[in-house]
Amino acid sequence: MKSKRASQSAALTHLDRDGRPAMVDVGAKPVTARAALARCRVRFPAAVAAQLRAGGMKSKKGAVIDTAIVAGTMAVKRTSELIPFCHPLPIDGCRFAVDWDSDTSLSIECEVRTTHRTGVEMEALTGATVAALTVYDMCKALSHAIAIGPAKLVAKRGGKRDFGALAGADA
């Protein structure tokens, strides 16, 4: 039998008493520093990865990484317009790290920070995945065998529980 605490932590938060969709009311929560780090991978066929590396990560559409970072940043700022129950948040900071983590896999990390009543997990996930989609868009002329994912939350700080390690120091 599950403990009362375990069942509470597993409860869905975006449903009202009648089981209808509802935005969580965060009005009574304290304003605190919040941060989240998400990662999404883009996997390329070996020949495509070699071509991109040799070409300095440029395609006929332009600088792949720079464009992905701009698109990801724009997505972070607009997450509440894309995900129905996300609160619009003031974004204190947004940073991307993009690097090859194998011969054929590009890792895109998005770290987002705010000082607010709710966290930025969805903003970090949205930023990382939209950046990955942008890489795909910029490189799809080379191959449609490019694969995106997995996308996952790597770490978060602030709110009820923290987990993982954030890339930045103490913020």
Of 18, 92, 101, 137, the active-site residue reads 137
- Is residue 137 part of the annotated active site? The answer reads yes
The closest of 57, 59, 140 to 99, measured between CA atoms, is 57
Q: Which helix (H) or strand (E) holds 105?
A: strand 105-116
The CA-based angle 169-154-21, given to 5 degrees, is 120
CA 153 to mean position of chain CA atoms: 7
Residue ranges in the chain assigned as alpha helix (H): 4-9, 46-54, 64-77, 79-82, 121-139
Is the separation of the CB atoms in 42 and 105 below 8 Å?
A: yes
**Exposure string for 77-110, b = 16+ CB within 10 A, e = fewer:** bebbeeeeebbebebeebebebeeeeebebbbbb
Active site residues per annotation? 137
